[in-house]
Amino acid sequence: MQVINTMLLEMASGNFFYRIERNSENDDIEALILTLNMLAEEIQDTIIHQGFANIDDSILDIVQMSFVLDHRGHILMVNQQACNILSSLYDDFIGQGFECFLTEQSKTIWKSVWKKIKNKGIFDTTINIKFKSKGDLIIPKTAYISTFCEEGSNKSSTLITIIHHSNYKNKLDSDLKKRIIQDKGSDEVGESKTKKPKLRLSFEDIRKIRDGHDIIINNLEKDLPSLKEFALQIGTNEFKLKYGFKELYGTTVHRFLMQERLRKAQMMIQYSDVSLKTIAYMVGFKSMPHFSRTFKKRYDYSPSDLRNNTILENE
C-alpha cells in the first residue's frame, strides 16, 4: 500500500512514467496495481499522441537520464535528473555498479549486454530495461548504449542514455514559467519604490525544490550535503533553495529534515518492534543520547516513554 500511495502522489504531481512491479498474487491489491499501471501508461500515451494531433505542438525527445560507466561497469557520472527520478543523492551513484539500480529481471538483461560490450569493445545497442526508484517504483525505459575510448587510453567507457518522449505547447510552457510565488501580504498604495523587489520563483524553480524535498524524504538516514552542494545537485542556487523551500513548506531545509526524521522515528516506535537504538541510526542520528534529547524536545516525552506506552496499550 505504501508503494501504491507513492505512485498516486507521483501521478498527482504529473509524473506518469513510474510503474509498480507486478506480483504473482491474484488478489485485489494486484488488480489495483494493474489498473494504476495501465492508467499511467494510457495518460502518458495520450500526452504524447496530442503532439501528433495538434500541429502547434511538437514531440521532443528529452534526455531524461544519463550514465557514464568505466571499463568495470561502475558509474563515473550521472546527470541531475537521474538523481531526482530515482530519489537518490549523487554520491549514491558514483562507484556503484549500474545494475544496482535495476530490477532483478533487468539485471539479467544487463549482464548479458555487458558481456557483449566486454567482448566487442566498440558496441552500440538499444535495450528495454526497468529501473527501481528508492520508493520501490518501477521505471520502464529504453536505454541507448554506446561505448567509446578516451584519447590515449585503451580502456573503453560506456554511455547509457535514457530518452523520454514528451510534448510541450509553447503557450502552456510560457504560462507555467510566469507563475510565481510572492511574499505573503499585499503591497500598500504609495509604498516606497525603492523597496527591494520580491523574489519570484518560476514553475521550473518550484519543480526543482520539490525534487529536493523528495530526495530529503527518501534519504533521512544520510547526512545532507551543504546547501550549496544540494542546490547545485537539483539545478538551482543556494539562495533560491532557501527561499523557495521556506515558501513551499513553511520551514528551512534543515528544520524540515529534522522534523521528518523525528516523524519517521515516532511512527517506527509506535508501530514496529525495532530497537530504539536502531531506529535512531535509521533516521540519521549518530548517537542515542542526541536522539533522545531531540525527540523529547520535540514531543515532550522520550522515545522510551512512547515505546512503553505503546506496549501497554497492546497488552
Secondary-structure class of domain 256-314 per CATH: mainly alpha
**d(Cα 72, Cα 244) in Å, to the nearest integer?**
40
- Give the fold, CATH level 3, of 60-167: Beta-Lactamase (3.30.450)
Residue 194 confidence (pLDDT):
47
Measured distance CA(44)–CA(232) in Å, rounded: 29
What is the model's pTM?
A: 0.54
**For a pLDDT cut of 90, what percent of the chain falls above it?**
29
pLDDT for the residue numbered 63: 60
Residue boundaries of the structural domains of the chain? 2-40, 60-167, 256-314
Region of 190 (left: φ > 0; alpha: ψ -120 to 50; beta: rest) is left
Answer yes or no: is pLDDT of 92 > 70.
yes
Hey, what's the cell of 253? 531545509
**pLDDT for residue 187 is more than 60:** no
Residue 287 confidence (pLDDT) above 90: yes
The Cα 175–Cα 20 span in angstroms is 33
pLDDT band at 87 (very low <50, low <70, confident <90, very high): confident
Average pLDDT over every residue of 152-156:
74
Calculate mean pLDDT across residues 146-164.
Answer: 80
Residue 206 has pLDDT above 90, yes or no: no
Confidence (pLDDT) at 165: 54
| pLDDT for residue 25 | 61
